[in-house]
A and B are shown apart, each in its own frame.
Chain A
């Protein structure tokens, strides 16, 4: 299995609070991605990174920001969580032209 961990695995928070999710890889892959999974929508890309400090928006980036200061870590931040951001969040990694490997997911509940 690809070395990808996500933390925390579960989180319950309140509306308006900031939340940071962490994705950590040990594979030294260049590309990293954050997706959210919701019923009826499949997986939708939030943000992705194509190198240290190089990031770009995906299709559902509003309300989210990311940072990548090291190859191995990709952080997803919800500056002020809303109930619509209740979801399961997946991190993925890849090399150019290769398959994406997914982490185990983080279940976030915003009350």
Chain B
């Protein structure tokens, strides 16, 4: 079955540091890949996505590239801010038509200190 493995947390960084959160997946075919973010006390919001190999998703300074050869979708940001403190989830959606279910990783809590 499908699975997503993401970097264990928590992760603590200083403001303006470079961020990488690793995500690898197991799935047949070419799934769609997502990063969701959850701010304290809120539901999840889509941060970025990629639907085919070599696609790069980007939003709010975050980027992730769909790497089929390494089955990875690592999240990066060049200079983090305190407001980026949140929990980040990597997820995939099966390539099978009509299968809309998402499989999530366990989440990575990120804290940015001033």
Q: Which residue of B lies closest to A1 (CB)?
A: B45
- Contact of B43 with A42 in the complex, beta carbons under 8 Å: no
**Which one of A31, A90, A102, A103 has the highest number of Cβ atoms from chain B below 10 Å of its Cβ?**
A102
B69 at the interface (CB under 8 A from A): no
A41 CA to B105 CA, complexed, in Å: 8
B66 at the interface (CB under 8 A from A): no
A58 at the interface (CB under 8 A from B): yes
Over the window 11-33 of chain A, the binary record of Cβ atoms lying under 8 Å from chain B Cβ atoms (1 yes, 0 no) is 00000000000000000000101
Minimum distance in angstroms from A3 CB to a CB of chain B: 13
Q: Which residue of B lies closest to A38 (CB)?
A: B106
Q: Which residues of chain B are within 8 angstroms of A48 by Cβ–Cβ distance?
A: 100-101
A67 at the interface (CB under 8 A from B): no
Q: Which residue of A lies closest to B90 (CB)?
A: A42
- Contact of A105 with B100 in the complex, beta carbons under 8 Å: no
Q: Which residues of chain A are within 8 angstroms of B100 by Cβ–Cβ distance?
A: 31, 48, 50, 94, 96-97, 100
- Contact of B42 with A42 in the complex, beta carbons under 8 Å: no
Q: Which residues of chain B are within 8 angstroms of A31 by Cβ–Cβ distance?
A: 100
A14 CA to B98 CA, complexed, in Å: 39
The one of B45, B49, B89 that contacts A43, using a Cβ cutoff of 8 Å: B89
Given contacts A99-B46, A104-B43, A42 and B107 within 8 Å (CB-CB): yes
A45 at the interface (CB under 8 A from B): yes
**Among residues 75 to 112 in chain B, which have CB atoms less than 8 Å away from a CB atom of chain A?**
89, 98, 100-102, 104-107
Q: Which residue of B lies closest to A90 (CB)?
A: B43
B44 at the interface (CB under 8 A from A): yes
B73 at the interface (CB under 8 A from A): no
- Listed in ascending order, the chain A residues whose CB lies under 8 Å from chain B are 4, 31, 33, 40-45, 48, 50, 58, 90, 92, 94, 96-97, 99-105
Additional A-B contacts beyond A96-B100, A105-B42 (9; CB < 8 A): A33-B101, A42-B104, A50-B100, A99-B49, A100-B46, A100-B102, A102-B36, A102-B43, A105-B43
Closest A-B pairs by Cβ, 3 of them: A102-B43, A42-B106, A42-B104
